[in-house]
Amino acid sequence: MSDRVPGVQERGERGPVRRKGVGVPTSGWFDPRGRAIGGFAFAVNRITGLGLVFYLYLHLTVLSLLLRGEQSWNDFLKLATSWAFLSLDVLLLFGLLYHGLNGIRVALVGTGVVPNRQKALWWSLGVIGTILLIGGALHIYGSM
């Protein structure tokens, strides 16, 4: 009988799960709409984490130039001391500082040491990170 009643079969099915974000369903963690500091901190932490993994492989690839001889390495060094390449170093420094300092914040908050101070920690470590980033950038560009 239930086969003849409209909608009975459909009502038994599981509905779709709405996800945040645009594009692929798993982009929900990246949806910036209405997020607060903690949400942005989490998203940037993931992005810098992915960036650092990418850099690790890039670094190993670059080091493999040594296998091609001295000339190959010297050619790379010319490129590596250009303004544009050094800017990538500053970007790398940002990724390292952000991921490392946010890691300290998450560890302090996430183990219950200061569970209610995540925003204050973010701003405090943000100031420290910005100072270190500016100092590092001046040092990197000063080496040109």
* HEC per residue, 72-125: HHHHHHHHHCCHHHHHHHHHHHHHHHHHHHHHHHHHHHHCCCCCCCHHHHHHHH
Which positions from 104 through 123 interact with other proteins, judged by CB under 8 A? 106, 109-113, 115-116, 118
Q: How far is the CB of 36 from other proteins (least distance, A)?
A: 4
Sequence letter at residue 92: L
Q: Can residue 137 be called a binding residue for other proteins (CB under 8 A)? A: no
Which position has the token pair 């100072």? 131
Q: Can residue 135 be called a binding residue for other proteins (CB under 8 A)? A: no
The residue count for binding other proteins (CB under 8 A) is: 37
- Identify which of 54, 52, 142 has the alpha carbon closest to the alpha carbon of residue 98: 52
Selected range binding other proteins among 15-23, 54-62, 65-73, 92-100, rule: CB under 8 A:
15-23
By CB under 8 A, name the binding residues for other proteins: 7, 10-11, 13-21, 26, 28-31, 33-39, 41-43, 45, 106, 109-113, 115-116, 118
